[in-house]
Amino acid sequence: MSLPTLFPGATLGVMGGGQLGRMFVHAAQRMGYFTAVLDPDAASPAGLVSHHHIQTGYLDPEGLARLAECSAAVTTEFENVPAPALAALALQRPVAPGAEAVAIAQDRAREKAHFVRCGVPCAPYAVIETPEQLAAVPDELLPGILKTARLGYDGKGQQRVATRAELAAAWAGLKGVPCVLEKRLPLAAECSVIVARGWDGAMVHFPPQLNLHRDGILAVTQVHEGNLPKVLVQRSIDATKSIANGLQYVGVLCVEFFVLEDGSLVVNEMAPRPHNSGHYTQDACDVSQFELQVRALAGLPLTPPRQHSPAIMLNLLGDLWFASTAQDAATEPPWARVLALPGTHLHLYGKHEARRGRKMGHLNITGASAAQVRATALEAAQLLGLEAF
């Protein structure tokens, strides 16, 4: 499918008003587009900075009609946007990524089946939707991780289980919703690859990101020459491209991988949107993941991004606001001291209230060499009260 190019001056719509939507809006506006955001929250990070903010539920027919009316094309910024809403919008406007690709990414069982179809290995798993399927789970999958098939993020909806009894209890605790049991694998590292694919099938990619998670949430991303063995760099890029091609995907897609202790690469999951692990592209690359999302949606050329600086991204969770005191009162982290370090770029999402575990912003660190970036990032982490890495 191809689309007539939407030139600056057109209005680009986005489903969801979180931080990813906000950074999409910023990128679109920088290029001269108008923007429309649909999000029920009056204080949503993207709604606050968009030309239009349609403040309704994601399935509200009137809200969807208004979004379609004012937007020339629509994208999405969060994974759990209801696929039927995207399907409804697609009757009136180009929508990228499409409802089908988003629906597959929303469902771990369908997602894994897609990976297998594309010939990309994932962790051994079993789908558990019925007591019979629970009983039939092979022993080799234990110890494992039970994950809800839908609506999981940042490690939510997941439970580690070592025995059949624990598995049964965990599934009962999740009220018997459809789940996937994954074998727990010995991880040496985690990485991700972001691609952008256009309406015409043209595709560009960023270099693989090395990711460190803490408590199921991304904490640190490191991107520089040598962050991963060369063979894994190529393999992860190839795998991501075949996953995107297999979906006939249009837009920005992130695929997350595990690197196992034996050096093999296993796909974990995908996100049908820009990704937290790609935030370093804003300051370290000549075109960011958000600009590529704009270009893909608008049908503009996708130029291969060039990373001009080694980079580290530190995620800034709400916990930082409570780091210096034992009390409940939030205090602002020491930004002035952090920003005194060369090559630090602060991104905050305009969320009014800091809460533990809430993504408040990120700090990108760029520099002349990987060693220098690392030294600065460790200094910044120490100032912020973050664990070293």
- Under the criterion CB under 6 A, does residue 129 sit at the interface with ligand ATP? no
Q: Which of 8, 40, 57, 155 binds ligand ATP (CB under 6 A)?
A: 155
- Under the criterion CB under 6 A, does residue 152 sit at the interface with ligand ATP? yes
Q: Which is nearer to ligand ATP, 256 or 291 (CB)?
A: 256
- Under the criterion CB under 6 A, does residue 268 sit at the interface with ligand ATP? yes
- Under the criterion CB under 6 A, does residue 123 sit at the interface with ligand ATP? yes
The angle subtended at Cα 115 by Cα 112 and Cα 118, nearest 5°, is: 155
| Number of residues assigned to the chain | 389
- Under the criterion CB under 6 A, does residue 209 sit at the interface with ligand ATP? no
Options 133-141, 154-162, 324-332, 372-380: segment touching ligand ATP (CB under 6 A): 154-162
For residue 90, the minimal CB distance to ligand ATP (Å) is 25
- Under the criterion CB under 6 A, does residue 121 sit at the interface with ligand ATP? no
- Under the criterion CB under 6 A, does residue 184 sit at the interface with ligand ATP? yes
Q: Which of 4, 143, 153, 382 binds ligand ATP (CB under 6 A)?
A: 153
Q: What are phi and psi of 217, to 5 degrees?
A: -120, 140
**How would you label 132-149 residue by residue, b for 16+ Cβ within 10 Å and e otherwise?**
eebeebeeebbebbbbbb
Q: Which of 107, 269, 283, 291 binds ligand ATP (CB under 6 A)?
A: 269
- Under the criterion CB under 6 A, does residue 320 sit at the interface with ligand ATP? no
User: How many residues line the site for ligand ATP (CB under 6 A)?
Assistant: 19
- Under the criterion CB under 6 A, does residue 19 sit at the interface with ligand ATP? no
**Angular region, 333: left φ>0, alpha ψ -120 to 50, beta rest:** beta
- Is the CB of residue 206 less than 8 Å from the CB of residue 192? no
- Is the CB of residue 267 less than 8 Å from the CB of residue 115? yes
Give binding residues for ATP as ranges.
Answer: 108, 147, 152-158, 182-185, 190, 213, 268-269
Q: Considering only CA atoms, which of 236, 238, 93, 108 is closest in space to residue 182?
A: 108
- Is the CB of residue 195 less than 8 Å from the CB of residue 295? no
Q: How many CA atoms lie within 13 A of 249 on its CB side?
A: 30
Give the Cα separation of 388 and 97 in Å (integer). Answer: 37
Query: Given the rule CB under 6 A, which residues bind ligand ATP?
Result: 123, 145, 147, 152-156, 158, 182, 184-185, 187, 190, 213, 216, 256, 268-269
